[in-house]
Amino acid sequence: MRDLAIVVFVALAIGLPGSAHAQSETDRLREALRSATTQLRSSEDQRAALQAKQAEGERERERLQKQSDGFKAQVKDAEQAYQQAVDEFNQRLAERDATLEKWKSAYEEAATVARTKDAERAKFEGDATAFKASTKACEAKNLRLTKASEEMLARFKAMDLGEFLAAHEPMVGIKRVELQNLLQDYRDKILDQKAKP
């Protein structure tokens, strides 16, 4: 606006003299003034449009900045949630590993106990088999021992007074030797049936 006032003032100052040349000069200056005014208005309109665009750009920039800040906050929240999820997953994984280690230890202990029990069972089965065989052998020997005892008792029951005196006769001692041989045979039979470890 100040530029317009200067142009008008200059145009009036030049157009004050009264000559025709001055009149055409005035017309020319008026035309120049109109042209300058039009250009000035156009410039003012452009400046106003640019200022409006600038203001719109500022508003858009502020809107985008707010949107960007919102996205940054969302990203930060997402990163925190992700980190928390990772931490929780790692914690659950560590707990699972600890539980797995406990189960593994318990399994190994149970397996060791089972192997020990299997070894004991096998040993006891072997001992039982040996004891059964030993018991059968002892039973068989017991039967033979009982039979030898019964024979010996039957022999002594069947002995009469003459045989008893002949066994104690000090001179010849034949019957005594027979009796001692018989006793030795029975002793051998009894010793043959003795249980062996």
Res. 191: pLDDT tops 80:
no
Q: Which of 51, 36, 52, 53 lies closest to 1 in space, CA to CA? A: 36
Residue 126 and residue 160: Cα distance in Å, rounded?
Answer: 53
Predicted confidence at residue 23, as pLDDT, reads 79
What is the average per-residue pLDDT within 10-30?
67
0.75 cut: is pTM over it?
Answer: no
Q: Is the CB of residue 14 less than 8 Å from the CB of residue 25?
A: yes
pLDDT at 138: 75
How far is 74 from 83, CA to CA, in rounded Å?
A: 14
Alpha carbons 190 and 153: distance in angstroms, whole number? 13
pLDDT given for residue 6 in this prediction: 60
Please report the pLDDT score of residue 189 as a whole number.
76
**15 and 27 in contact (C-beta within 8 Å)?**
no
The ranges assigned to domains in the chain are 2-158
Q: So what's the pLDDT on residue 72?
A: 92
What are the tens digits of pLDDT across the range 91-146?
999 999 999 999 999 999 999 999 998 999 898 889 888 878 877 877 787 777 77
pLDDT at 182 over 70: yes
pLDDT at residue 188 is higher than 90: no
- Please tell me the chain's helix, strand, coil percentages from 3-state DSSP, rounded to the nearest 5: 90, 0, 10
Contact by Cβ (8 Å): 164, 171: no
* Arithmetic mean of pLDDT, 157-169: 62
How much of the chain exceeds pLDDT 70, in percent?
A: 73
Task: Place 13 in a pLDDT band, splitting at 50, 70 and 90.
Answer: low
The angle formed by the CA atoms of residues 41, 47 and 48, to the nearest 5 degrees, is 90
